[in-house]
Structure 1
Amino acid sequence: MTSMMEVRLQAQEDEITLLKSSLADALRKLRLHDQLLPLLKQQLIRSNRNSSGNDKTSNLGRKTLSRRKSIKMFIRGRPITMYIPSNIQNYEDLKMEPPFERLELDWVYGYRGRDCRDNLYFLPSGEAVFFIACVVVLYHINNRTQRHYDKHTDCVRCLTLHPDKVRMASGQTAGVDKDGKPLHPCVHIWDSTTLVTLQQIGLGAFQRGVGCVAFSFDSGAFLCVIDDSNEHMLSVWDCNKGTRHAEVKNTNEAVFCVEFNSNDSTNIITCGKSHVYFWTLSAGQFTKKQGIFGKYKKPKFIQCFVFSLTGDVLTGDSEGNILTWGKSTFQIMRQTRAHEGSVFTLCSLQGGAVLSGGGKDRKIIRWSADLAPERECEIPENYGAVRTISDVDGEELLVGTTRNAILRGTFSDGFVAIVQGHMDEMWGLATHPSQNIFITCGHDRQVCLWKTEEHKLDWCITLEYGLCADFCPNGSVVSVGLSTGRWMVLDLLTREVVSESIDGNEQLSVMRYSPDGSFLAVGSHDNFIYIYNVTESGRRYTRFGKCNGHSSFITHLDWSKDGKYIMSNSGDYEILYWDVAAGCKLLRNRFESKDREWASYTCVLGFHVMGVWLEGSDGTDINALCRSHSERMVAVADDFCKVHLFQYPCPKPKAPSHKYEGHGSHVTNVCFTHSDSHLLSMGGKDTCILQWRVIRGGPGDSREKLASTSTSSPEPATS
């Protein structure tokens, strides 16, 4: 009942916002009508005078008067008028083509350790294999290069390595397409050398997603899968045929791990919340034995398990203990105190030694085959807890952490991060005006500076929820807008806060410097745009004025090339123009801004980008867009996990685009690097940053060839 009332309240608030916007729009049109009425009278007088001239002049006059001056698109039923620039003589004859450029995935920043387990492996090729969003990354730890398996259509949730150390299996979650139709979860079996998909398992057989996968130990002929349905269905599949061999309901509780018995592939073990189950598969039927805790305290969670040399099962639990289970009795033979807090992972080494990783104490402990502690170390606090461990050579280890980092090191020398990422939803993204670096910020309170050529994190500091950012044109400082209305200016070299201010008490959604760096515009959810004078090379800020006229929160804004005007969008789909030089004056006649040139184009509503919208869009389907510095293309971040590349300008419906997948959540932002060599895209809840290489057309390429692989945006309603 409460949820229904919340939905109704939200709907009423949306309607109120639209009514306010419609009222404001009507008042503007009335004022515009009063201003244009004398001009229309004069034009009518001139037209009557010309009608007495020759037919040639008369016909020319009629053509001029009948030429189309504007076009309308509709979002949520609201008409938005777009004025056609003077240099476009025949709008109807414009032809939209896909851009000559294409995108190619260059680098993936991040790792999903926050909420996934057993998702880090080391291959004989020297590559670490892990996943984030919809991409499985193969990272060569010495050469520092990446390859990508990118055939999944939604977020990858689990990963396992075949006994041959070449084939891999990765399972994904379910999803929905842009029309709300379900996308079924499945498991891909693929070759890590060629990145070729060998088999697609269980399409349409799993519910919600695939949570755990494991190959049989003998020859890897079978694959065990646990899905995310209420019963966490346990199924075994023939890897070569892709057919299901057996299936059974597992448990209504969470399941964390599944594995075939290393000595007998007819036996399977699962563990999770308050349980350890021992399964036997015979003639296509499962029988289950529940682990008996007896005199030992039953832990809330059994997080992980491995097999000892003797075939016993070692489990790690939320009480910090390693329990040894008899291979045939299904009872606890021994309890070993291991960690303060949970044991998150166990890893078997050659010779029978075992590694354990702790949650609360962040320790890695090496145990002998009979569980005597031999060595231990502690990973740095800023990386979080130990999520998973992968053995490289018996001495060197790879460690995945709960704060989405991968560490490399040894007990003797300690550990350093080779992969790092954000830990929560991201929104703020900006690229440097002259260097190959970019800044990100988000809900994890981290502001991070990345290097695109070295593919690494340069530095990271903790502030508040960061939602937007922009570099000063001189490149020495960056401004970051926060969720509280505060904004800070950081020195790139010292990372110190050189200026700080606050505008209102609502979140800031956009920061944008004027082209010469003399002004900073701050767009807020309180419906205002605050303008600041910028001096001392971006280190001093004084309030210049405030743009007051939007009837909803500011979403995007851009400066004109001469630095005198601003174009802005708001949450109720307004397009307004402001004369900053004249004291932040609202320009009532939007027609007068149709020929203005813009230093950047990030506003999602405007004549030049009208063609990127889909039919029936509710205004939130596009989160961000960015025009390239060459003004040849525009990248779009949509709400359906996709990145699109359109030609620029893109003013007509049904504009074709190149579409790119990889994100597993709404894409919150996109931005080109200063030379247009790369595009950065940022996922929301997938905590993933994708770096795309821009491939420019060359000999043998053609727009027709590119169009064969492009997608078209359905036509929005126009009039």
Structure 2
Amino acid sequence: DDKTLRIWDLSPSHCMLAVRKLKKGGRCCCFSPDGKALAVGLNDGSFLMVNADTLEDLVSFHHRKDVISEIRFSPGAGKYLAVASCDSFVDIYNVMSSKRVGICKGASSYITHMDWDIRGKLLQVNTGAKEQLFFEAPRGKRQTIPSLEVEKIGWASWTSVLGSCCEGIWPIIGEVTDVTASCLTSDSKVLATGDDFGFVKLFRFPAKGKFGKFKRYVAHSTHVTNVRWTHEDSLLVTVGGADTSLMLWTYEMGGHRESRQCDSEESDLDSEEDGGYDSDVTRENEINYTIKALSTNIRPMFGIKPHLQQKEPSLDERQGVVSYFRPPVSRALPQPEKLQTNNVGKKKRPIEDLVLELVFGYRGKDCRNNVHYLNDGADIIYHTASVGILYNVATGSQSFYQEHNDDILCLTVNQHPKFTNLVATGQVGDSADMSATAPSIHVWDAMNKQTLSVLRCYHSKGVCSVSFSATGKLLLSVGLDPEHTITIWKWQEGAKIASRAGHNQRIFVAEFRPDSDTQFVSVGVKHVRFWTLAGRALLSKKGLLSSIEDARMQTMLAVAFGANNLTFTGTISGDVCVWKDHVLVRIVAKAHNGPVFTMYTTLRDGLIVTGGKERPSKEGGAVKLWDQELKRCRAFRLETGQMTDCVRSVCRGKGKILVGTRNAEIIEVGEKNAACNILINGHMDGPVWGLATHPSRDFFLSAAEDGTVRLWDIAEKKMLNKVSLGHAARTVSYSPEGDMVAIGMKNGEFIILLVTSLKIWGKKRDRRSAIQDIRFSPDSRYLAVGTSENAVDFYDLTLGPTLNRVSYCKDIPSFVIQMDFSADSRFLQVSTGSYKRQVYEVPLGKQLMDQTVIDRITWATWTSILGDEVVGIWSRHAEKADVNCACVSHSGISLVTGDDFGMVKLFDFPCPEKFVRTFCLCDCNTKCF
């Protein structure tokens, strides 16, 4: 973008050989096959070819208006030049005649990557809408090629980031990143990529299947905009966006690797030491928990907060008109209602209180062993957010323990008959302040929800594991502090009897032996320890690998127990290690194909249940039931529809196995018939941003970073359906008739689905940043799409699924937060990240400045957190965190808000007075969006 073209020497001298000034900023460049010419695409839609030696112009063209995003000579003699633009076209030029001979049409978004086949007759194109398209050259006629056939085609280059061959280069859906560039070595074995995090990664090619293994290199401080191998693959060249750096990486092939410190963070190649890499284990090990008291704004807001702003003078006051010149207000013309009321009779009664009735979801992504049977299998106990949940299997009814003030991370049930239905739960906290924010463990009765003991501890950041002893009188806890402290409590007295640093690496689980009050085992990153409580001292022994051939200390994830002092530990590689006392005596190789995350010891018969991560198959499953010695097993497949099942919790009852998964599902599996009954569903990854209620039925939709939109039935207390979108979703909205659903995506795309079939009616991507809110107009004619680009676009739905943008709102001071249409569909109010609310005319997009007109608008909905009508929702202590969302009831007299502290609050509407009294309802989660 500095309007220069530079040529560099890649020999050890590393000098710049030539430079010339361009008329416009350069965006892409490419050498001709013979190296004599250089094509350069510019940011105004033009491109030129220059002599590679002198950098003098040879020819130039200007057929497009938007940025030239990619440019490529055909292989061989370089007869053709393909020029891709952000206008969504690829133009093909004959180099010798200097004429455009073909146009590739049909892309629904800007072009990002482009490659020729080795014959120079086929083009592969990637677009901003994540399309992989193919065009015949030179005419540009679109071709349909099955994915299996794509692999058989010989490509002159490969810079594509899409398709089955590149599926593994994309990170987990919740991560805030895009793969911006790729390049394949000439032997088609190694694919280099660059991404928005500044990472350079190497993958084996083809990278099929999700979340492929890689080596990661860190040097760029921001987005990597391009990566290219040199002609002999000896060097990799990468360029940074904002850091404006060009970097050279030496590629050392196997067998020629020098013995020196590596620049990479080896995400998968520590496998030689710990038996394998797994993304779920790595993510769990790296999570940094933050308490609500330290919450910051979930959005990067700026400006003066509403309760600190001076009230804007009216138009008359600004013009100097005093009040006695105004005509008197007639009693026959009262001020119109602020909100249109729907299905409400004449008697309006305010909502006085809210009571938690139903919770969808289960915390499985970073927890384990946290779903248990109670009352001989009639009930189950689990947790999500800061709520402990008792669920009746027969009726689906729930009751709640709500005494925690932050996220619950672990749960265990007391197995001693004297303490039936007693539960212990540990939460996130901060030990620096031993007040309400300190980490705490609650011991409570699951049936009456009475708190029996609260143990405040010095586990900084939180408690990750709890376990009762055999007699039920002692409780073991493990902290998330750097030393991963282990503490033994007499929970009935609230007394700590012993404490000691557990390990300098993460401990995942620590459990008492089911027949002991003094012996327990802890497992974690590359260690297992066997502990003994001696008085007030804790003594430990490391697990000894003995003389078993090829035995190595792996990352241990789970533990179970057998008779005669046997201990079983599940590993990251899928093996199960069998220990006698603290000595390894046997390895059950590949008990699961992936990590063994959870194990359960059945006290009545000694059978062991294991849960792991693996693909469903005829022979195996993610849940297995073993005999007492782990020599024989029966596998159970979970009917989840997922390509890979990842089990985080198992519990065995009478004839049934209770399973909790990373995908936030709780499933009951029959031992005899292997039938699966999904009891609980939830979003697998958050945040959950989008929420919309059906206009006439007790249904609602939710949309989340896990790339799914889910339909929930409130009356039946279950999930009815879900749609996997492939990209993180940010917002969702029903049409006024409830027959269509609009979904706004994090990548700037939006999709409209037909509710009856869940088929796509139309989709469009006119923006490149996240869509923050999306709304149908009350008359169903227009769709308003608000984005992070300080813009609101209007689409006329009567023109059909082509979704033509008819106008947009200008001069929005910051990113859009919420939008609401007026009841007559003529106006739209927009709340922004600068704490300013503005009103625009629909569909012109012209800002309405007349406050008198604004005051007389009746709104179809009210979700704005800004405006004189809702200034009272902002508390005196709103400096650290924001009110994130609001919704006024259909009666128009009650308002509910959610904030960064996880609080749901109830107000009267309107509430124009500052610091009004509120009803605090519950701590629903870390943040309410």
TM normalised by structure 1 equals 0.78
How far does residue 298 in structure 1 lie from its aligned partner after superposition? 2.4
**Which residue identity does 2:356 align to in structure 1?**
L
Is residue 345–residue 387 contact of structure 1 (8 Å, CA) maintained in 2?
Answer: yes
Q: Find the residue that maps to 2:805 and give its secondary structure.
A: strand
- Could you report, residue by residue, the CA deviation over 1:691-711 in whole angstroms, capped at 9, with x for unpaired residues? xxxxxxxxxxxxxxxxxxxxx
**SS of equivalent residue, structure 1 residue 264:** coil
User: CA 1:453–1:635 in structure 2 vs 1: closer, same or farther (change >3 Å)?
Assistant: same
Cα 1:499–1:311 shift into 2, 3 Å: same
Q: Secondary structure at the match of 1:183?
A: coil
- Post-superposition offset of 1:515: 1.8
Q: 1:341 matched to which residue of 2? A: 594
**Which residue is 2:625 aligned to?**
366
Question: Deviation digits for residues 437-489 of structure 1, max 9, x if unmatched?
Answer: 11111111011111111111111111121111111001111101111221111
For 1:341, give the aligned amino acid.
Answer: G
AA in 2 matched with 1:324:
V
* Greater Cα shift, 180-189 or 206-215: 180-189
Taking a change above 3 Å as real, the CA distance of residues 484 and 514 of structure 1, as seen in their structure-2 partners, is: same
For 2:434 and 2:536, the matched residues in 1 are separated by 36
Looking at structure 2, the residues matched to 608 and 222 of structure 1 have their Cα atoms a distance apart, in angstroms, of 54
1:230-270 Cα offsets, whole Å, 9 max, x none, are 11111111122111111112111111111222233122221
Match of 2:463 among 202, 207, 210: 210
2:359 match: secondary structure: strand
Corresponding position: 1:287 with 2:570? no
RMSD: 3.4
Worse-superposed segment, 446-455 or 341-350:
341-350
Q: Is structure 2 residue 610 aligned with structure 1 residue 356?
A: yes
On the 8 A contact 2:301/2:834 being kept in 1, the answer is no
The amino acid across from 2:448 in the alignment is T
Q: 1:239 to 1:427 in 2, by over 3 A?
A: same
Separation in 1 of the partners of 2:733 and 2:452?
45
Contact between 1:99 and 1:657, CA under 8 Å: does it hold in 2?
no
2:445 — aligned with what?
A: 191
Instruction: Pick from 685, 695, 698 the counterpart of residue 433 of structure 1.
Output: 695
**Higher Cα Rg, which structure:** 2
* Contact 1:274/1:298, CA 8 A, preserved across alignment: no
Q: Which amino acid aligns with 2:695?
A: P
Deviates more, 1:332-341 or 1:438-447: 332-341
For residues 109 and 17 of structure 1, do their structure 2 counterparts lie closer, same or farther at Cα, with a shift above 3 Å needed? closer
Are the equivalent residues in 1 in contact too, given 2:609–2:651 (CA < 8 A)?
no
1:477 to 729, 735, 740: 740
Conserved 8 A contact 1:171-1:188: yes
Shift, 1:100, TM fit: 4.5
Q: Which amino acid aligns with 2:474?
A: F
| Residues 152-186 of structure 1, C-alpha deviations (whole Å, 9 max, x = no match) | 11111111111233111111111699x99970111
Query: In the TM superposition, what whole-angstrom CA distance separates every residue of 1:315-355 from its partner, at most 9, and x where no partner exists?
Result: 1111222222113xx10122112121212222223322222
Q: Does 1:391 align with 2:652?
A: yes
The verdict on how the C-alpha distance between 1:514 and 1:552 changes in structure 2, with shifts beyond 3 A counting, is same
Give deviations 1:559-616, integer Å, cap 9, x for gaps.
11222111111111222112226x3321123343122211111111111111001236
Alignment partner, residue 61 of structure 2: none
Instruction: Map 1:264-275; keep pairs closer than 5 Å.
Output: 264-275=516-527
Partner residue of 2:179?
Answer: none
Q: Report the equivalent of 2:766.
A: 503
- C-alpha distance after superposition, 1:636-672 (max 9, x if no partner): 010111111101111101211111223231101xxxx
Distance 1:248 1:321, change over 3 A: same
Could you state the TM-score of these two structures normalised by the residue count of structure 2?
A: 0.61
Question: What stretches of structure 1 of length at least 5 have no aligned partner?
Answer: 48-60, 68-83, 89-97, 669-719
Contact 1:256 1:304 in 2 (8 A): yes
Matched to 1:301, the amino acid is: T
User: Is 1:550–1:574's contact at 8 Å kept on the other side of the alignment?
Assistant: no
Helix, strand or coil: the match of 1:106?
A: coil
Q: Encode CA deviations 1:179-232: one digit per residue, 9 max, x unaligned.
A: 99970111111111211001111x143322111111111x21111111111111
Matches of 2:467 and 2:514 in 1, distance apart?
11
2:374 corresponds to = 123
Could you say what secondary structure the match of 2:696 adopts?
Answer: coil
Matched residues, number: 600
**Superposition map of 1:375-414 within 5 A:** 375-379=634-638, 380=640, 382=642, 384-393=645-654, 395-411=655-671, 412-414=673-675
Whole-Å Cα distance in 2 between the matches of residues 182 and 580 of structure 1? Answer: 49
Of residues 756, 776, 779, the one that matches 1:493 is 756
Q: Quote the Cα distance in structure 2 between the aligned partners of 1:213 and 1:129.
A: 15
Instruction: Spell out, residue by residue over 1:72-131, the C-alpha distance to the aligned partner (whole angstroms, 9 max, x if none).
Output: xxxxxxxxxxxx97999xxxxxxxxx9652110011111111110110100016111111
Q: Is the contact between residue 365 and residue 373 of structure 1 (CA under 8 Å) also seen in structure 2?
A: no
Change (3 A) 1:436 1:86: closer
More helix by share: 1
2:840 maps to 1:585: no
Aligned to 1:168: 423
| In structure 2, distance between residues paired with 1:532 and 1:446 | 24
Measure, in 1, the Cα distance between the counterparts of 2:486 and 2:805.
63
| 2:552 aligned residue | 298
Structure 1 counterpart of 2:62: none
- The alignment status of 1:454 with 2:708, answered yes or no, reads no
Q: Where do residues 305-704 of structure 1 align in structure 2 (5 Å cutoff)?
A: 305-327=559-581, 330-337=582-589, 338-349=591-602, 350-361=604-615, 362-379=621-638, 380=640, 382=642, 384-393=645-654, 395-411=655-671, 412-424=673-685, 425-463=687-725, 464-535=727-798, 541-580=803-842, 583-615=844-876, 617=878, 621-668=882-929
Q: Which residue of 1 aligns with 2:246?
A: none
SS of equivalent to 2:869: helix
Residues 548, 221 of structure 1: CA spacing in aligned structure 2 closer, same or farther, 3 A cutoff?
A: same
Higher relative contact order (CA 8 A, sep 6+): 1
CA distance in 1 between partners of 2:388 and 2:592 (Å): 31
Point out the more displaced range, 350-359 or 138-147. 350-359
Local SS of the residue matching 1:506: coil
> 1:632 and 1:176 mapped to 2: Cα distance?
42
Aligned-partner SS, 2:357: strand
Structure 1 residues 567 and 162, CA gap change in structure 2 (3 angstroms) = same
Structure 2's unaligned 5+ residue stretches are 1-217, 223-241, 243-298, 339-348, 616-620
Structure 1 residues 469 and 186: CA distance shift in structure 2, 3 A = same
How far off is 1:17 after superposition? 7.3
Q: Percent identity of the aligned residues? A: 27
Partner SS for 2:872: helix
Deviates more, 1:242-251 or 1:380-389: 380-389
SS of aligned partner of 2:870 = helix
Q: Secondary structure of 1:324's match? A: strand
Q: Which segment drifts farther, 608-617 or 375-384?
A: 375-384
Do the aligned partners of 2:876 and 2:915 also contact (CA within 8 Å) in 1? no
Query: Which amino acid is the alignment partner of residue 359 of structure 2?
Result: V
Q: Distance in 2 between matches of 1:139 and 1:334?
A: 39
Q: Kindly indicate whether the alpha-carbon contact (under 8 Å) linking 2:373 and 2:381 is maintained by their aligned counterparts in 1.
A: yes
Give the letter aligned to residue 115 of structure 1.
D
Q: 1:256 and 1:388 mapped to 2: Cα distance? A: 13
- Contact 1:260–1:268 at 8 Å: present in 2 too? yes
* C-alpha distance in 2 between matches for 1:459 and 1:332: 47
Amino acid corresponding to residue 512 of structure 2 in structure 1? F
- Quickly say closer, same or farther: Cα 1:421–1:15, change in 2 above 3 A: closer
Kept in 2: contact 1:154–1:175 (CA 8 A) = no
Deviating more after overlay: 122-131 vs 204-213: 204-213
Contact 1:313 1:325 (8 Å CA) reproduced:
yes
Q: Secondary structure at the match of 2:898?
A: strand
Q: Distance in 1 between matches of 2:678 and 2:921?
A: 29
- Per-residue CA deviations over 1:385-429 (Å, capped at 9, x if unaligned) read 121111121x21111111111111225233232111112211111
Q: Distance between the aligned counterparts of 1:656 and 1:100, measured in 2?
A: 14
Deviation for aligned residue 1:533? 2.2
Once residues 434 and 733 of structure 2 are traced to their aligned partners in structure 1, the CA distance between those partners, rounded to angstroms, is 35
Q: Partners of 2:775 and 2:337 in 1: how far apart?
A: 28
